[in-house]
Structure 1
Amino acid sequence: MTGDLTGKTIVITGATSGIGASAAHTLTQRGATVVPTGRSPQRAAALSEELGLEVLTADFARFADVRALAERILDRCPRIDVLVHNAGGMVPVRSDTTDGHETTLQTNYLAPFLLQSLLHDRLAESRAHTIVTSSVAHRAGKIRLDDLEFRERRYSAGAAYGAAKLADLLFSREIARHAEQTGITSVAFHPGAVASDFGRGATGPAGLVYNTALGRRLFTIDNDEGARPLVHLAADTDPRTVNGQYFNKLKPDASTSAQARDADLGTRLWATTEELLRPPVTR
């Protein structure tokens, strides 16, 4: 999908702030039909006014919102050329959502997984390209299939976020592995340390980077720079040539963690996630 984006439909979650909002502006200017989504109604209204189009709202901490969002996307989009899984964040203290899942895992991984599943048929019909916002933080994450939600192991915001972003990377690669059968390609990327609202929940060294004036000045980039890899992967690359890859900013990066390269773990994580999301049986 290179060159003119006229006629291309690009759905972006987490698009009402940060790199998602920046990418929505740029891709709209390049002619794409952008369908932005976000959690905040106030920010959605502001972005809607800026872009002159409807911005859909959904809180990824509620699966009911994700299901409603999927229905609205399907009603609005007869085809989807690109689906960007960009929504997510970090919470400083462990908590569960109303769906009973650890908040960081649900908002960064389980909700995107559910959205992908609900849109699967439309994505397959469109031979869509999926782009997943991961992070170099995945290298510090560890997947434990018997404790994905930090109910037994010690919780920290960084450990939970790293594990969720590792899950995102495995999710992207599992989609990519089945591209020949489904027609859906996938790529993941790290945008860089972006000075956005994302870091508000960071603690420890990450908190010093994101939540102090000196840290932000020395170590972070602005939203437009952070959005460049997203725009590049959505508009300026052939999806087939980047399928299954992980980009660190604008460059392919093979130095992912050992777990991120474990295809068997990716398959087992997918199956475990399907079980987590399976509707409860009514007795």
Structure 2
Amino acid sequence: MTRTIVITGASDGIGAASAKQLNDLGEEVVVVGRNPEKTARVARTLGVDSFVADFTDLSQVRELAASLLERYPRIDVLANNAGGVFGRRTLTADGYETTFQVNHLAPFLLTNLLRERLIESGASVIQTSSAAAKLFPRFDLNDLQGANHFSSTTAYGNAKLANVLFTKELNRRFGDRGLSAVAFHPGVIASNFGSTSDGPWKFLYGGPLAQRLMTSTAVGGARLTWLALGKPGVDWQPGGFYANNKPARTNRLADDPAVAKALWERSAVLAGVDD
């Protein structure tokens, strides 16, 4: 049976690569991106549906969820792949720190707005996290948006750890209802990922050695594709964190259920969804 697979952040990078791979395998792929022209180009090339949503605006996330619910009676996979790193501390129109909102709060909101459809479909929810969850965070539940201490690296590490904590809590709350969640590190990908930042991130992703030293978008996309195609409990374990298609270690806080629960509850208040 052909499955419906929604991929955010699919206008380029590993999202676009995975969309092509899954489409080539006969799955019904839905492309979601921030940039209208790039998103339309990917969708047109593949001959698939597309939607535009800027995750710095939570009203657009709500509109996206409503459109998906109206269009698709089943959603078999939701890949929360959109994200980014930002050079300075800025607030979105919603009043939240941009890194926190784009990488965590917006996908948290989207997943919860689609939650009943995902449960009905026995869906997999995939979070594109990062090894940064282990390397860079200074995670403080009382300062999730870096009001007291901010650096682009720390903010990104905190957001990627939030992805893993969200995965754990999503699985704890709804795993027994048939929803499976997993997070993964795609590799250090040669893409324009760091273009919205400055300093070391922009140099790392835009420097002359990037294409030579980093993982290609095709390989990174294949890691997302592997999870999307995989059977939870057989090919990968729900609630797990993966790298190179294998279970991997991440930040020790990811194994603290109290932290995961507290993050969920605070995110629900900020996003305006039922806990």
Q: Is TM-score (shorter-chain normalized) higher than 0.5?
A: yes
> Which residues of 2 match residues 2-21 of structure 1 at below 5 A?
6-21=1-16
CA distance in 1, matches of 2:83, 2:175: 29
| Offset from partner CA, 1:11-67 (integer Å, 9 cap, x none) | 101111100000001101111111110000000121121011221100000011000
Which residue identity is paired with 2:256? D
**Which residue matches 2:185?**
190
| Offset from partner CA, 1:71-105 (integer Å, 9 cap, x none) | 11111110111100000101101100000000000
Contact 1:202 1:210 in 2 (8 A): no
> Which residues of 2 match residues 8-87 of structure 1 at below 5 A?
8-87=3-82
**Which residue matches 2:137?**
141
> Which of 259, 265, 268 is the equivalent residue of 1:271?
265
- TM-superposed CA distance for 1:178, in Å, is 2.6
CA distance in 2, matches of 1:79, 1:52: 19
Which residue identity is paired with 1:111? A
**Which residue matches 1:3?**
none
| Offset from partner CA, 1:179-207 (integer Å, 9 cap, x none) | 44332100100000101111224555444
CA distance in 1, matches of 2:48, 2:196: 30
Matched, 1:92 2:87: yes
Alignment length (residue pairs): 270
- TM-superposed CA distance for 1:264, in Å, is 1.1
Which residue identity is paired with 1:19? I
Contact 1:209 1:219 in 2 (8 A): no
- TM-superposed CA distance for 1:177, in Å, is 1.7
**Which residue matches 1:238?**
231
Contact 1:158 1:203 in 2 (8 A): no
Which residue identity is paired with 1:246? F
Which residue identity is paired with 2:120? E
Structure 1 gaps of 5+ residues are: 1-5
Structure 2 gaps of 5+ residues are: none
Runs (4+) of structure 1 exceeding 6 A deviation are none
Give the secondary-structure state (helix, strand or coil) at the position aligned to 2:267: helix
Contact 1:102 1:149 in 2 (8 A): yes
Moved more, 204-213 or 18-27: 204-213
**Which residue matches 1:224?**
218
| Offset from partner CA, 1:105-132 (integer Å, 9 cap, x none) | 0000000000011001101111111000
CA distance in 1, matches of 2:37, 2:30: 17
TM-score, with structure 1 as normaliser: 0.92
- TM-superposed CA distance for 1:257, in Å, is 1.1
**Which residue matches 2:100?**
105
CA RMSD of aligned residues (A): 1.4
Contact 1:85 1:131 in 2 (8 A): yes
Matched, 1:129 2:127: no
CA distance in 1, matches of 2:256, 2:85: 25
| Offset from partner CA, 1:138-197 (integer Å, 9 cap, x none) | 1121321111001112x1111100000000110011112234433210010000010111
